[in-house]
Amino acid sequence: MNTSNPALESATLPPAPVSELQPQRAIVIGKRGWFQGRSPADWLFAAMVLLGAGFAFSRYHGSMDVYEKGILLCATPALIALGWFWRPLRLLCLIVGAASLLTIQLYLRQTDSFGADLAAADKVFFLKYMLSSQSAILWMSVLVYMSTLFYGLGLFKRDGGHSAAEAIGSRLAWGAVGMALIGTMVRWFESHQIAPDIGHIPVSNLYEVFVLFTWLTTLMYLYYEQRFRTRALGAYVMLVVSAAVSFLLWYTVAREAHEIQPLVPALQSWWMKIHVPANFIGYGSFAMAAMVALATLLKTATTRSLVIGLIGVPVGLVLVLVAFRLGAGLPPETVAGLDSWAGKMAGLAVFLALSVALRGPLTARLPALGTLDDLMYKAIALGFAFFTIATILGAFWAAEAWGGYWSWDPKETWALIVWLNYAAWLHMRLMKGLRGVVSAWWALIGLLVTTFAFLGVNMFLSGLHSYGTL
């Protein structure tokens, strides 16, 4: 009879030779390098970016200071890394680059005493109807509205899976980003053709930064759409983008904001080129998180809380505005402003009431609550990081422009309030496990705080940042 113990035998076996263990160790701790395993398409994209950067430097280095050359030097590998990280960016970059170069050539065919004749924007067919900065931004606006519509239609699809309407909405969103970037690049070129001292990166006024907000927010959403494999949130996120586009169009008509203007002295700094984009990555992320929060609330909150929070608040604001409106001795411009805002708040209340009434079909296709919560957290964390960087850069810029890092200007004060709000939100989530309805309400209220810091300060307060007044 065999009385051997297999467990004992295996325990007393001599250790395997080192040579036999090496392959297993290599499998466990081995890690592919960043440059290993790259496809020919990866290297072709990198080569095209390097060629484009080299062309830009050789053509325009005479107009660039040392800081702008440094930004170009850092932006080149960053763009390559982004294209390797997220492949859809490659096609976007190639299309925007090709269209921008085509537009520049169309302009250069018509020259005046200084450079390209900007009057060609009203003479050349493709410039007039598609590729001049104003035409491209108008196309961006149309595509944003159409994308929002098709995403919204996709919410009413009854069976599972992606709907055809959502797929169209996603493609239209990509088109809006492309046209926004083309308009931005062409506007940058156009500004340099007016006069040598006028040319600047188009992030200097409300018109330009609303274009920046539009494509940044849309592009960030498209990344998360692919990451989380859901398009059901497109209608919610593109809704806030459509609101930004509506303000942009109103601002264009009311103030002729599309006209390129020289920079005021405070903005003639290279800090603007990095402070403003970083700031708007924060704004876009916070806006996207708020719309995810709205979806979460419509999916989970009680009807009573939705009626009080979503409908009662704008109705209350309407009543307050009407009370001020009926006050005696108000100047006509104040009365007109109160009427306008009362109408806007009333329209918002009606829209939110319809959203609550239709919450069933509007939330039937949303992802699970865990996914919504994770997306909201990631968006706020990203926005908080960039908003922190932007605030620090703004302090350095203030020191250069006004001689002090912090002056408690209304814009600075409200930027600090925004930062503290999201810092507290992240603290409560990471330390106290904040989740669900409470975190969603907080994120949604955060959008109101951020909007006032961005627009409300310009409208109602004055200070060192009053060059952005409405």
pLDDT tens for each residue of the chain, 470 residues long: 444 444 444 444 444 444 433 444 444 444 556 677 788 899 999 999 999 899 888 887 777 778 778 888 988 999 999 999 999 999 999 999 999 989 988 888 777 656 677 888 888 888 888 999 999 999 999 999 999 999 999 988 766 666 889 999 999 999 999 999 999 999 998 888 887 778 888 988 889 999 999 999 999 999 999 999 889 999 999 999 999 999 999 888 877 788 888 888 777 788 888 899 999 999 999 999 999 999 999 999 989 999 999 999 889 888 888 887 777 667 777 777 777 878 888 888 999 999 999 998 899 889 999 999 999 999 999 999 999 999 999 988 888 877 778 888 888 899 999 999 999 999 999 998 888 899 999 999 999 999 988 887 777 666 555 555 55
pTM above 0.85, yes or no: yes
Angle between helix axes 271-300 and 206-228 (nearest 10 degrees) is 50
270 and 67 Cβ atoms separated by less than 8 Å: yes
Classify each residue of 61-70 as buried b or exposed e, where b means 16 or more C-beta atoms within 10 Å of its C-beta.
eeeeeeeeee
Cα 259 to Cα 265: distance, rounded to the nearest angstrom: 18
**Sign of the CA dihedral with 461 first, then 462, 468, and 469 last:** positive
Residues 179-213: b if buried by 16+ CB within 10 A, e if exposed: bbbbbbbbbbbbbbbbeeeebbbbbbbbbbbbbbb
Q: Exposure pattern of 417-444 as b/e (b: 16+ CB <10 Å)?
A: ebbebbeebeeebeeeebeebebbbbbb
- Given a contact cutoff of 8 angstroms between Cβ atoms, the answer to whether 441 and 396 are in contact is no
The structure tokens 């492949």 sit at 87
Helix, strand, coil share of the chain (percent; to 5):
80, 0, 20
**Helix crossing, 164-194 with 88-108: angle to 10°?**
40
How many C-beta neighbours within 10 Å does residue 142 have?
14
Estimate the crossing angle of helix 40-60 against helix 66-85, to 10 degrees: 160
Domain positions in the chain are: 116-262
φ/ψ of residue 428, rounded to 5: -65, -35
How many other C-beta atoms are found inside a 10 Å radius of the C-beta of residue 344? 14
Q: Is the separation of the CB atoms in 237 and 221 below 8 Å?
A: yes
Distances (CA, A) of 266 to 32, 271, 447: 47, 10, 28
168 and 86 Cβ atoms separated by less than 8 Å: no
